[in-house]
Each structure stands twice: as structure tokens, then as C-alpha cells.
Amino acid sequence: MQEYINSGILETYVMGCASEQEAREVLSMKEKYPEVKNALIELENDMERLAASMAIEPPHNLWPQIAHEINEIVLREHNQPQIYREGINTGKEENTGGKPQYIDVESEATHMRIHKVWRWVFAAVFVLGKIFLGFAIYYYLENRQMNEQVNELKTELKQIKSTK
């Protein structure tokens, strides 16, 4: 056991540079052997002694900054919306007897959303409507003019007949 303690593996563990396998091994030995546990405690105390001798007083304004950031993070966690999960947020989704679950939606809005392609369809319908309207007016006027001409011709024919 002393050989294991003297191998330097405990020092690597305490300093955080042991591999995962080494760390597992050290923890297992720590549980089994009190000598290993005591050696680890001593090494941790050594690290603390070294750190205490090299300590630097932090500036006075540093803690308020840290406390503020922690507060903000905790507040953010508190204010996060709850994630929706079926059967957790409401009890209605349960016991549907294996049928597909649908959400009943009754539209109350006065507006509707349609696909953008309908914009071109509406434009084409509008343009075609204008063209047909143009033709209709043109043929209506032409028809009226022809009727007037026919009437004039009829009047002339009547006049010719009456003079004969």
C-alpha cells in the first residue's frame, strides 16, 4: 500500500491531471484503504497551504458583480417557459383510446392566410378581366354604330321608295 501511495498517482489525482482510469482507481482505493484516504486529505491540505501562501485579495467590487450575474442566471432559469409535454401539462390528452389526437381549432379570425402563388393568379385574373372588359366595350360600341348605320340605310331606302 505504501508503494501505491509513494507512486505519485495520488498527487496527480489531487492536482486534477490523472486520467479517468487513474481517477477511478484512486477513488476505489480511497474507499477501501484508510491510508490512501488520509494521504489524499494531507495532499489536499498541502494544495490549500500552497494556495494560501500565494493568495491575492480580490477587489471589493468583484463579489457584487458575481452575485449579480448569479442572480440573473437563476432568474432566467426561473422565468423560462415550461416545456410542453403531452400527458404532463394537461390531463386531457390521456385516455384517448389509441385514436389519433387532434387539436380542435375553430377559427375566429376575420382574415385568412393563403399561399403566395395566389398573388400571381389574382394578378392574371385581374389583367384578363380588364382585357375582356375592353373587348366588351369595343364590340358594344361597334354594334351600336352598325345598328345606327342600318337604321340610316333603312330610312334612306324608305325615302327612295316613297319618291318612286
Least distance from other proteins to the Cβ atom of residue 104, Å: 33
Residues that bind other proteins (rule: CB under 8 A) add up to a total of 42
Which amino acid belongs to residue 77?
A: E
**Does 54 sit near other proteins (CB under 8 A)?**
yes
**Looking at 3, 20, 55, 108, which residue binds other proteins (CB under 8 A)?**
55
**Nearest to other proteins of 74, 125 (CB atom):** 74
The alpha-carbon radius of gyration of the chain (Å, integer) is 47
Does residue 15 interact with other proteins by CB under 8 A?
Answer: yes
Q: Which of 4, 2, 3 is nearest to 28 (CA)?
A: 4
> What part of residues 71-90 is at the interface with other proteins (CB under 8 A)?
71, 73-75, 78
* DSSP H or E run through 161: helix 117-163
Least distance (Å) between residue 112 CB and other proteins: 39
Q: Least distance to other proteins from the beta carbon of 108, Å?
A: 30
**Cell numbers found for residue 136:** 366588351
Task: Confirm or reject binding of residue 136 to other proteins (CB under 8 A).
Answer: no
Near other proteins by CB under 8 A: residue from 31, 44, 86, 94 = 44
Contact 4, 36 (CB under 8 A): yes
Residue whose C-alpha cell is 490512501: 36
Angstrom distance (rounded) from CA 12 to CA 40 = 11
CB 32 within 8 A of CB 41: no
Residues that bind other proteins (CB under 8 A): 6-9, 11-12, 14-17, 19, 41-59, 62-63, 65-67, 69-71, 73-75, 78
